[in-house]
Amino acid sequence: MSESIIHVTDSSFEDEVLSSDKPVIVDYWAEWCGPCKMIAPLLDELADEYKGKLTVAKINIDENQETPQKYAVRGIPTLMIFKNGEIAGTKVGAMSKSQLSAFVDSLIEPVSKSGERR
């Protein structure tokens, strides 16, 4: 796993995610979840590619049940992007690298009026 990924818990979620000065994508996962294991390498790549622009965090829902309940996580993997302490976007289920990158880019990259990324 990438050294750029942080592991958060119910007790550290506020400090590491909600109070972050940059966007954070949170992966709600569990050890027994096959699709979670499928996207894990993609999140490693994402953490390295977006280093400095985005924090990648993982929270194990079996060990931390308060946070997933608070954010109404019903299925895993669930990916949520938080900006300024608020949910900016949510995706449920496994996805390809291009889908994951498009999801992140649509929420963290400012778009100019001409539609081009800045």
Is residue 55 within 8 Å of residue 23, measured between CB atoms?
yes
Residue 45's pLDDT is 95
CATH number of 5-108: 3.40.30.10
Out of 36, 56, 79, 94, which one is annotated catalytic? 36
Is residue 71 within 8 Å of residue 57, measured between CB atoms?
no
Angle at which helices 34-49 and 97-108 cross, to 10°: 50
Out of 24, 26, 33, 81, which one is annotated catalytic? 33
Q: Say what the pTM is.
A: 0.90
| Secondary structure tally for the chain: helices H, strands E | 4, 5
- What residue ranges do the domains of the chain occupy? 5-108
* Span 82-117, pLDDT tens digits: 999 999 999 999 999 999 999 999 998 764 444 454
Active site residue 36: yes
